[in-house]
Structure 1
Amino acid sequence: MGTDRDGDDGAGVSTTRKTFRLLETLKDEEGVTIADLTERTTLPKSTVYRHLQTLTELGYVIERDGRYYVGFRFVELGEQARSRKAGYTAAKRAVFELGKETDERAVFIVEEDDDAVYVHRYGSLSNSMIGQRRPLHSMASGKVILAEWDDDAVANYAERTGLEAHTSNTITDLGALFDELERVRDRGYAVNEQEHMEGLRGIAVPVYTPHDEFLGSLAVFGPTSRFTDTYVHDDLAARLRDKAGEIKVTLAYG
């Protein structure tokens, strides 16, 4: 029979799951004591202590005056993930250029396990967003990604996720999502009409490699008071297309 050290709960190794429960708790609120972690994770104190000792020895967690924090070893892992494709490095430069030119929050987003994942971001609290995940169907970047999929793949995504509503504007009907994705394909960009957060509007374009392989989505977003139709459809759409093109050229010629 499995134990805490080597058990398998039928969906994965239980020890690994407990480790990541602790790390997620530390991520949400750093500087946590063993007693706090025991209460918040409902794990036995001995289990919490043993996992923390191992993580501390490996450098993934640090301890200061009885409080535990996520260590910088995760930064190393995150940078490896963000640079594993040459295009991700080129996209980082484009995001920062776009952000400076527009004075808006700019992002580069990819898909992983049915989520839109922030790879690069320019703007306030930029580093805190890296690696965070959002639903594909409620974001401009996510709709650009879904527009790359065929109808069967989109339908399967809708079945898996349920197209959860985040605001009254979120697309929750599969037929409406198909119509929206067709518009995205026709005009070459997607717009977020307060679909993930009230008062927030965004626009995104696809980014391709020199071999026309989809790399990810480049986007900017901001308050609806500033993101008027003219600004979004005329100014930002052109700027984003230009930056996406620059990424493609950079990858082709270095």
Structure 2
Amino acid sequence: MDTDRDETEVDADAVGVSTTRKTFALLEALKAEEGVTIADLTERTDLPKSTVYRHLQTLTDLGYVIERDGNYYVGFRFVELGEQARSRNVGYTAAKRAVFELGQETDERAVFIVEEDNEAVYVHRYGSLSNTMLGQRRPLHSMASGKLILAEWDDEAVREYIDEVGLERITSNTITDSDALFSELESIRERGYAVNNQEHMDGLRGVAVPVYTPDDEFLGSLAVFGPTSRFTDEYVHDDLPTRLRDKAGEIRVTLAYG
């Protein structure tokens, strides 16, 4: 009797997981291109039309998806969830102002990035279309902020990252060799900032510094990035690190004294 009951519970869990995966498959498809029909979603997710319809009806009833003239869009309920995630740490809120000021003072794209599940996640961004990147994820090893985060880890944690995630080549400049990555991380630790030299996108360079709490806990990465035409070696290594450290220090002071 106990065995039969356990098998039933496992089956129920499996169905629940499968249902959840289908729901998020639909949401990912909607995120990629909003204003799509049931037929479009059926084709993009390889789910039966009836399944797509049922899931969309549930999401619509809950306010997470809206329907307009047969087209479906992500609802604003997700904005509420996203804001809760961005504000769950008071340090994230303090970083928002620093990102805005840094962007205005440098007239460059400024970002605050944290690590979640071995990926770099955009929490705040200043610049054109600034809200379009919030919550998006990038490989740690291909970004200035990501490499800075890896530099905060010990060698064993970095090796686990390499084993689990790998070092995918994004551009011809992406570090894909583990020895080269460890050497880069050691350089970052010594100089206190990280540089992205067209490692995530051709024609783009970036600089990142760490942000710490008053208790010396690592909070995230503050960075700016822009085209190689402006991001000369002098600008990248002499000017920007100082500006970034100043702003990172302001975040720390804000957390200490309010």
Task: Please indicate, yes or no, whether the TM-score normalized by the shorter chain is above 0.5.
Answer: yes
Does residue 1:107 correspond to 2:111, yes or no? Answer: yes
Does residue 1:51 correspond to 2:55, yes or no? Answer: yes
CA distance in structure 2 between the aligned counterparts of 1:193 and 1:6, rounded to whole angstroms: 49
Choose which of 185, 191, 200 in structure 1 pairs with 2:195: 191
CA separation of 1:46/1:6 partners in 2, compared to 1, >3 Å: closer, same or farther?
Answer: farther
For structure 1, the 5+ residue unaligned runs are: none
CA distance in structure 1 between the aligned counterparts of 2:198 and 2:133, rounded to whole angstroms: 19
Q: Which residue of 2 aligns with 1:246?
A: 250
Deviation at 1:234, TM superposition (A): 1.0
CA distance in structure 2 between the aligned counterparts of 1:224 and 1:32, rounded to whole angstroms: 37
Q: Which residue of 1 aligns with 2:224?
A: 220
**Are the equivalent residues in 2 in contact too, given 1:7–1:15 (CA < 8 A)?**
no
Deviation at 1:162, TM superposition (A): 1.6
Q: Which residue of 1 aligns with 2:74?
A: 70
CA distance in structure 2 between the aligned counterparts of 1:129 and 1:224, rounded to whole angstroms: 21
Correspondences of 1:1-254 after superposition (within 5 Å): 8=14, 13-254=17-258
CA distance in structure 2 between the aligned counterparts of 1:34 and 1:158, rounded to whole angstroms: 39
CA distance in structure 2 between the aligned counterparts of 1:34 and 1:161, rounded to whole angstroms: 34
| Count of matched residue positions in the alignment of Structure 1 and Structure 2 | 250
**Are the equivalent residues in 2 in contact too, given 1:26–1:70 (CA < 8 A)?**
yes
Structure 1 runs (4+) greater than 2 angstroms displaced: none
Normalised TM-score (structure 2):
0.94
CA distance in structure 2 between the aligned counterparts of 1:108 and 1:202, rounded to whole angstroms: 13
Normalised TM-score (structure 1):
0.96
- For 2:195, what is the secondary structure of its paired residue? strand
- 1:121 alignment partner AA: R
- 2:131 alignment partner AA: N
More helix by share: 2
- For 2:34, what is the secondary structure of its paired residue? coil
- 2:251 alignment partner AA: I
- For 1:250, what is the secondary structure of its paired residue? helix
Deviation at 1:36, TM superposition (A): 1.1
CA distance in structure 2 between the aligned counterparts of 1:7 and 1:207, rounded to whole angstroms: 41
Deviation at 1:160, TM superposition (A): 1.1
CA distance in structure 2 between the aligned counterparts of 1:40 and 1:179, rounded to whole angstroms: 42
**Are the equivalent residues in 2 in contact too, given 1:6–1:15 (CA < 8 A)?**
no
**Are the equivalent residues in 2 in contact too, given 1:116–1:142 (CA < 8 A)?**
yes
- 1:181 alignment partner AA: L
Deviation at 1:6, TM superposition (A): 5.2
CA distance in structure 1 between the aligned counterparts of 2:163 and 2:124, rounded to whole angstroms: 29
**Are the equivalent residues in 2 in contact too, given 1:141–1:190 (CA < 8 A)?**
yes
CA distance in structure 1 between the aligned counterparts of 2:62 and 2:94, rounded to whole angstroms: 32
CA distance in structure 1 between the aligned counterparts of 2:86 and 2:179, rounded to whole angstroms: 34
- For 2:210, what is the secondary structure of its paired residue? strand
CA distance in structure 2 between the aligned counterparts of 1:144 and 1:111, rounded to whole angstroms: 10
**Superimposed CA distance per residue, residues 196-230 of structure 1 (whole angstroms, 9 cap, x where no aligned partner):** 11110000000000000000000000000100011
